[in-house]
Structure 1
Amino acid sequence: MKKLISMIAVAALLITGCAKELKVTTAENLKVEYGEELDNTKLFNAKESDENVKVDKVEGFDAKKMGEQEITVTFTDDNKDKEEKLKITVEDTKKPVIELKKESVGITAGDKLELKDNIKSVKDPVDGDLKYSDKTVEKDGYYIDKGKLDTKKAGTYEVKVIAADKNGNKTEKSFKVNVKKKETAKKPNGTGNSNTSNNGGSSSSNPSNTGNSGSNTGSSSGGSNNSSNSNGGSSNNGGGQKPVNPAPHQHYVDSSNSGHDDLVMSGMWFDTLAEADAWVDNYDGPDGTWGSYGYSAAQCSCGKYTVYFFNIGYME
C-alpha cells in the first residue's frame, strides 16, 4: 500500500514538473496615436512567443490620455493564461485642418469685412470642430491674425488663420485681402442755375432776357413793321415773323490763369464775395473733405462771383 502511494506521488510530481508557463515576449517602447484604438497584435512579438498566443483582455488604457500609461494585458493560448504589465505612450501627431472658401477676398476701401466668413471649417481629426476666438488661443480653438490689414486703405494684405487642438498642435493657413480704392465723384453737383462755358480763355456773356417776346410799338410803313424788344434792341419782322428771344445768360469765368491743373468749378454763383466765403465755410463737399482745401473767387461779366477748388486730394 505504501509503495502504491509513493508511485502516485511521484507521478503527480512528474506531471507538475512537466507543465510549462506560457511564453510571451511583450512589446517595448510602444507608441499609440491619440484617439485611436489599441492594436492588440502590437502588444507582443508573435515570433518570440508560444504558438497561438493572443490577447485576452486589456485593462487601464485611455486613448485620449496623453503621455505614458501602464496597462495590464492578459495573454492566452486557450490552455494557459499569463498576465503582463506594459508601458505605452499616447502621442498626438495629427494637426488641425483648415479649409477656406477662397484664397483671396476683395472689398472697397471703407467697407465692412468679416474675415471669418471666408473660413469653411476648422477641425481636429479626433476632436472635431474647433471654435473661433477673437483673441489669441494656444489650445482648443482658432483665431485670425490680421497682420497689417487696413480696410480703409487700398492695397493687398495677407491674414492668417491659426488653429490649435486640445494638445497644442498648431496649423496656419493664409489668404489675401484686396482692398480697392473707393471711387469718388469727379466734381460736386451744383445746385445753382448756372452753366459753365469754355471759350478758349475769352469771356462772353449775354444780358438776361426779362421778357417773353418783343412788343410792336411802331406803325407800319411800306409793308414793314419796326418793333423794339424788351432789351432795347430793334428787329425787322417783315412778313409778320415773331421776334426771337435772345439766348439765356451763361455765367463764365476764365480760370485758365489759375495755375492749378486739378481745378474744379463749384457751379455756384453769388452776388458778393462775402456770400461766396460764407458758402465755402459751411460746405464740406460730397465726401466731407473740401472744407480743408483752398479756393478762389472770380467775377463774371454779369457781376456775380463763383468759387472754384484746387488741390483736391481725393480726386483721381
Structure 2
Amino acid sequence: MKKMNVLFAGLLSISMLLAGCSSQLKLKSDKFNVEVNEKPSAKANTYFDDVDGEVVFDKVDTSKLGKSKATFEYKGKKYEVYLVVQDTTSPVLKMDKKNFSFEVGTDVEKINEVINEEIKLSDNYDKKFDKVKVFDKKIDKAQEVKKKISVEDSNGNKSNEIEITVKFTEKKKATASKNKNDNKQVANNQNANSNNVSSGNALTQKKPSNNGNTQSSNSNSSQSKPQDKPSNGGNTQPSKPVPHQHYVDLSNSGHNDLVTTNMWFDSLAEIDIWLDDNPCGLDGTWSSFGYSAVQCSCGKWNPYFFNISYFE
C-alpha cells in the first residue's frame, strides 16, 4: 500500500510538470509589424491563436523605422518578440484655394510659390516636404490650365490627389495700351481745337481767373509784363512775375474712382514711356487700369487713372 502511494505521488508530479509546460502559449511568430509612431496592438489574438484578452508591453519606442526587441506580459507570463516599425500611411493633402490667376509670362518660380502657399500636408512620419513643382516653364499665351497635385512621402506613400485650375490672362499693360491710343487721339483733337475742346477721356483745361497765369485780353497781357521804369529817376525796380502754378480741373471726368498724380510731362509720349516702365501702376499693385491726361495752360500734361483693379 505504501508503494502504491509513492507511485501515485510520482505520477501526480509528472502531470503537474506537463501542465506547467503546456500553459506557455505558442507565439504566431517572433516578428510583428507596427506602424511608426503608433503603439503595438494590445489584443492577445494578435500574437496567439484562439485567445482573448489583452497583453501589456514594456516600454517600447516606435519613432524609428526598423526592427527592435520588445517584451510583453500575458496572464502573468513574459514573452519576447521583435517589433518591425514601418511607415505604410499615406500623407494627407488639403487645399482651401483651388483656382489661381496669373499674367501670361509670369515667372515660373513665382507661380509655384503662390500655389505652394495654399498646400497643407500632414503625415505620421515626415514633418517636412519638398515644394511641389506645379509648372516647369513659362506660359506664353492666355489660357486655362488644369493641374493634378499629389505628394509622396520619404517612404514612397502617395497622398490623395487634388485638381486645381490656373488661368493665364494677357499682361495688364495691354489694357493700358488701348487707353494710350485713345489718349493720343484725344491729344490730336485737343491740339486741333486749341486745347478748348474735350474728347474721349481727356478733359479741357479750365483756365483759372485770378492766378496771374492766363491772359484774357490785351490789357491783362500788358499787366503780366514787367512794369516800365517810372519817370521819377528810375529808382523803382520792375516787379517780379508770379511763379507759375500748374492747374487742372477734373471735376467733370465722370470717374468716381479717379486717382490723380502730381507728375507733369511735356508730352503724351513721355507718359506712355513712363507707363511702359510701370505697368502695375503707381505703387506696383494694380492688375489693370485705364488712364488719360489733361493739359495745363503751360502746355504740360498731367496723367490721371481710373477703373483700377488690384492683384488678388
Q: TM-score band (shorter)?
A: 0.3 to 0.5
Larger RCO (CA under 8 A, 6+ residues apart)? 2
> What TM-score, normalized by structure 1, do the two folds share?
0.45
Larger Rg over CA atoms: 1
Indicate the structure with greater strand content.
Answer: 1
